Amino acid sequence: MLVKDGDNCHLLSLDSIRYIESCKNYVQIFFDNKRAYVKKSLNGIEQRLPKKHFFRANRQHIVNLDAIRAIEESISEGYTITLNDGKILDVSRRNAVELKELLSF
């Protein structure tokens, strides 16, 4: 995936992307130990990613399923996921059903 970050371009393998976070009118793509800022919507980025590898956790985050280290139920009937790098993200109740289906648990 080619990502333009200001004057820089990054050619990212999908495996290197850990998660993507929405921030107002741009998104941050977290990959390897770096991040890129892209002027695109989270919905636009989501449409370019394969659904069998990436999951929309909530309104602000798309997660690489291979980057998930742990999943726990949360008080709000959704889930909390911990990524391999220690980052903790919430999964909305609505998207928790899809996560269960994707990971078959």
- Are 69 and 60 contacting, i.e. CB atoms less than 8 angstroms apart? no
Query: Following DSSP, what letter does each residue of 44-86 receive, concatenated?
Result: HHHHHS-TTTEEE-SSSEEEEGGGEEEEEE-TTSSEEEEETTS
Lookup: tokens for 85:
């790098």
| Per-residue model confidence (pLDDT) at position 3 | 86
State the CATH architecture for 2-103: Beta Barrel (2.40)
Tens digit of pLDDT for each residue in 43-93? 999 999 999 999 999 999 999 999 999 999 887 778 999 999 999 999 998
Give the position of tokens 């909390």. Answer: 80
| Per-residue model confidence (pLDDT) at position 53 | 93
Global pTM reads 0.89
Q: Quick check: helix, strand or coil at residue 5?
A: strand
- Are 91 and 80 contacting, i.e. CB atoms less than 8 angstroms apart? yes
Lookup: tokens for 2:
């080619």
Tens digit of pLDDT for each residue in 9-52? 889 999 999 999 999 889 999 999 899 999 999 999 999 999 99
Given a cut of 70, is residue 105 above it in pLDDT? no
The count of other CB atoms within 10 Å of the CB of residue 61 is 22
| Per-residue model confidence (pLDDT) at position 31 | 95
Domain boundaries, the chain: 2-103
| Per-residue model confidence (pLDDT) at position 104 | 76
